[in-house]
Amino acid sequence: MPTSGGGFEQAYNAQAAVDTNSMLIVAPAVTPSLQRSGTGQTDAQSADTLPAALGKIEHLLTDNGFYSAANAAACETHDIEPLMAVGRESHHPWPV
């Protein structure tokens, strides 16, 4: 992956689908890809393969890296409510 100072570094992009009540990781994923936006569709599709004991996925909570029409549509197809950030705020805003 490209580094902020220029050049490349062997690195991976990791995500985890987590049950927000139990904090149990239910679907880990690692990819060498920079782009994260396609993985929300994969997460929604993997909802069909989870054990019944885990219950039904009701919401997909993501940061803005996963925001896309395709991910929202994948959630709708699987009857999952998408809660995706659509923008990004600066990390350390100065008081006005």
| 68, amino acid identity | S
> Is residue 15 predicted with pLDDT exceeding 70?
yes
- pLDDT computed for residue 62 by the predictor: 83
Pick the most confident of 19-23, 50-54, 72-76: 72-76
The pLDDT of residue 43 is above 80: no
Mean pLDDT for the stretch of residues 11-35: 79
Nearest alpha carbon to residue 34 among 15, 13, 5, 16: 13
Indicate the SS3 state at residue 23. Answer: coil
- Measured N-to-C along each axis, helices 39-46 and 69-77 cross at an angle, to the nearest 10 degrees, of 10
Q: What residue ranges do the domains of the chain occupy?
A: 35-90
Residue 91 in tokens: 């990390």
- pLDDT given for residue 38 in this prediction: 53
Q: Please give the residue that has the higher pLDDT: either 62 or 96.
A: 62
